[in-house]
Protein backbone atom coordinates (compact mmCIF):
# COMPACT_ATOMS: atom_id res chain seq x y z
CA UNK A 1 0.00 0.00 0.00
CA UNK A 2 1.29 3.46 -0.90
CA UNK A 3 0.27 6.48 1.11
CA UNK A 4 -0.06 9.88 -0.56
CA UNK A 5 2.17 12.60 0.84
CA UNK A 6 -0.16 14.84 2.86
CA UNK A 7 -0.20 18.44 1.63
CA UNK A 8 -2.49 19.95 4.28
CA UNK A 9 -2.62 20.02 8.06
CA UNK A 10 -4.69 21.39 10.89
CA UNK A 11 -4.37 21.61 14.65
CA UNK A 12 -6.93 20.31 17.12
CA UNK A 13 -7.21 20.07 20.91
CA UNK A 14 -9.73 19.06 23.56
CA UNK A 15 -10.24 18.06 27.18
CA UNK A 16 -12.92 15.68 28.47
CA UNK A 17 -13.86 13.36 31.29
CA UNK A 18 -14.85 9.70 30.98
CA UNK A 19 -15.78 6.64 33.04
CA UNK A 20 -12.38 5.06 32.27
CA UNK A 21 -9.03 6.41 31.07
CA UNK A 22 -9.73 5.11 27.56
CA UNK A 23 -13.19 6.69 27.53
CA UNK A 24 -11.74 9.99 28.73
CA UNK A 25 -9.17 9.89 25.89
CA UNK A 26 -11.87 8.99 23.35
CA UNK A 27 -14.10 11.81 24.62
CA UNK A 28 -11.19 14.28 24.38
CA UNK A 29 -10.65 13.21 20.75
CA UNK A 30 -14.35 13.82 20.08
CA UNK A 31 -14.11 17.23 21.77
CA UNK A 32 -11.09 18.03 19.56
CA UNK A 33 -13.11 17.13 16.48
CA UNK A 34 -10.99 14.13 15.49
CA UNK A 35 -12.96 11.29 17.07
CA UNK A 36 -14.57 8.60 14.93
CA UNK A 37 -11.35 8.28 12.90
CA UNK A 38 -8.42 5.87 13.03
CA UNK A 39 -5.43 7.90 14.11
CA UNK A 40 -2.13 6.69 12.75
CA UNK A 41 0.45 8.04 15.15
CA UNK A 42 3.33 9.57 13.28
CA UNK A 43 6.67 10.92 14.32
CA UNK A 44 7.17 14.59 13.98
CA UNK A 45 7.78 15.76 10.42
CA UNK A 46 5.52 18.15 8.51
CA UNK A 47 5.78 17.49 4.74
CA UNK A 48 7.43 20.29 2.72
CA UNK A 49 5.04 23.02 1.52
CA UNK A 50 2.11 21.62 3.53
CA UNK A 51 -0.59 24.26 3.94
CA UNK A 52 -2.51 24.89 7.16
CA UNK A 53 -6.26 24.54 6.68
CA UNK A 54 -9.23 25.07 8.97
CA UNK A 55 -10.18 21.98 10.98
CA UNK A 56 -12.13 19.54 8.85
CA UNK A 57 -14.89 17.07 9.59
CA UNK A 58 -13.13 13.88 8.56
CA UNK A 59 -14.95 10.90 7.06
CA UNK A 60 -15.82 8.29 9.71
CA UNK A 61 -13.18 5.58 9.92
CA UNK A 62 -10.56 7.52 7.94
CA UNK A 63 -6.92 6.56 8.39
CA UNK A 64 -5.51 9.84 9.66
CA UNK A 65 -1.77 10.51 10.09
CA UNK A 66 -1.56 12.43 13.35
CA UNK A 67 1.13 13.65 15.72
CA UNK A 68 -0.45 14.03 19.13
CA UNK A 69 0.16 14.51 22.82
CA UNK A 70 -2.17 13.26 25.53
CA UNK A 71 -2.22 13.35 29.30
CA UNK A 72 -4.79 11.37 31.29
CA UNK A 73 -5.26 11.13 35.04
CA UNK A 74 -7.66 9.60 37.53
CA UNK A 75 -6.56 11.88 40.36
CA UNK A 76 -9.26 14.45 41.15
CA UNK A 77 -7.92 18.00 41.34
CA UNK A 78 -4.90 17.33 39.12
CA UNK A 79 -4.51 19.57 36.05
CA UNK A 80 -3.67 17.69 32.86
CA UNK A 81 -2.29 19.52 29.83
CA UNK A 82 -1.28 18.53 26.30
CA UNK A 83 0.22 20.67 23.55
CA UNK A 84 1.57 20.34 20.03
CA UNK A 85 3.67 22.86 18.13
CA UNK A 86 4.28 22.88 14.41
CA UNK A 87 7.38 24.69 13.18
CA UNK A 88 7.15 25.90 9.59
CA UNK A 89 10.44 26.64 7.80
CA UNK A 90 11.10 29.75 5.75
CA UNK A 91 12.11 27.56 2.80
CA UNK A 92 8.97 25.68 1.59
CA UNK A 93 11.18 22.97 0.06
CA UNK A 94 12.19 21.86 3.55
CA UNK A 95 10.08 19.82 5.97
CA UNK A 96 8.62 21.35 9.08
CA UNK A 97 8.86 19.84 12.54
CA UNK A 98 6.03 18.87 14.87
CA UNK A 99 6.68 18.46 18.59
CA UNK A 100 4.44 17.21 21.39
CA UNK A 101 4.40 17.76 25.15
CA UNK A 102 2.12 16.53 27.92
CA UNK A 103 2.25 17.14 31.63
CA UNK A 104 0.33 17.44 34.87
CA UNK A 105 0.83 21.16 35.21
CA UNK A 106 -0.31 24.51 33.83
CA UNK A 107 -1.24 24.80 30.15
CA UNK A 108 1.07 27.79 29.61
CA UNK A 109 4.05 25.82 30.91
CA UNK A 110 3.14 22.96 28.58
CA UNK A 111 2.89 25.38 25.62
CA UNK A 112 6.26 26.97 26.44
CA UNK A 113 7.93 23.53 26.63
CA UNK A 114 6.61 22.41 23.25
CA UNK A 115 7.66 25.67 21.57
CA UNK A 116 11.17 25.24 22.97
CA UNK A 117 11.29 21.72 21.51
CA UNK A 118 10.48 23.10 18.03
CA UNK A 119 13.15 25.79 18.33
CA UNK A 120 15.76 23.19 19.27
CA UNK A 121 14.75 20.89 16.41
CA UNK A 122 15.14 23.74 13.92
CA UNK A 123 18.50 24.78 15.37
CA UNK A 124 19.84 21.21 15.09
CA UNK A 125 18.70 21.05 11.45
CA UNK A 126 20.05 24.51 10.63
CA UNK A 127 16.64 25.57 9.26
CA UNK A 128 15.28 29.11 9.49
CA UNK A 129 11.96 29.16 11.33
CA UNK A 130 9.15 31.15 9.68
CA UNK A 131 6.42 30.51 12.25
CA UNK A 132 5.27 28.22 15.04
CA UNK A 133 1.64 27.12 15.30
CA UNK A 134 0.50 25.83 18.71
CA UNK A 135 -2.60 24.00 19.93
CA UNK A 136 -3.20 22.94 23.52
CA UNK A 137 -5.85 21.69 25.90
CA UNK A 138 -5.98 21.54 29.66
CA UNK A 139 -8.43 20.78 32.40
CA UNK A 140 -8.75 19.97 36.08
CA UNK A 141 -9.71 16.34 36.60
CA UNK A 142 -12.98 15.67 38.41
CA UNK A 143 -12.95 11.86 38.10
CA UNK A 144 -10.94 10.71 35.08
CA UNK A 145 -9.84 13.39 32.62
CA UNK A 146 -7.82 13.53 29.44
CA UNK A 147 -6.25 16.38 27.48
CA UNK A 148 -5.33 15.89 23.81
CA UNK A 149 -3.60 18.13 21.28
CA UNK A 150 -2.88 17.06 17.71
CA UNK A 151 -1.50 18.03 14.33
CA UNK A 152 -3.60 16.23 11.72
CA UNK A 153 -2.12 15.64 8.27
CA UNK A 154 -4.50 15.39 5.32
CA UNK A 155 -4.44 15.19 1.52
Is 27 marked active-site? no
What mean pLDDT is predicted for residues 107-117? 97
Is 62 marked active-site? no
**Other residues' Cβ atoms within 10 Å of the Cβ of residue 94:** 17
Q: Evaluate whether residue 1 is within a structural domain.
A: no
Contact 146, 21 (CB under 8 A): yes
Q: So what's the pLDDT on residue 155? A: 87
* Count of domains forming the chain: 1
Q: Flag whether pLDDT at 2 surpasses 70.
A: no
Q: Evaluate whether residue 3 is within a structural domain.
A: no
Is 100 marked active-site? yes
Of the candidates 70, 100, 107, 113, the residue annotated as catalytic is: 100
> Can you give the CATH number for the domain in which 79 is found?
3.50.20.10
Of the candidates 38, 120, 143, 155, the residue annotated as catalytic is: 38
Please give the torsion angle defined by the CA atoms of residues 113, 116, 122 and 126, in that order, rounded to the nearest 10 degrees: -150
Q: What's the predicted TM-score (pTM) here?
A: 0.93
Q: Evaluate whether residue 107 is within a structural domain.
A: yes
What mean pLDDT is predicted for residues 115-143? 98
Of the candidates 44, 73, 138, 146, the residue annotated as catalytic is: 44
Q: Evaluate whether residue 134 is within a structural domain.
A: yes
Domain hosting residue 48, numbered range: 8-53+62-154
Amino acid sequence: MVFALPDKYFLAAGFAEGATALNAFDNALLKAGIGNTNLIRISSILPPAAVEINPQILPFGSLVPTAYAEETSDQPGVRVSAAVACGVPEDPRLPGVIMEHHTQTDEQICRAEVVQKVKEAFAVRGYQLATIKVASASGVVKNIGSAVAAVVLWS
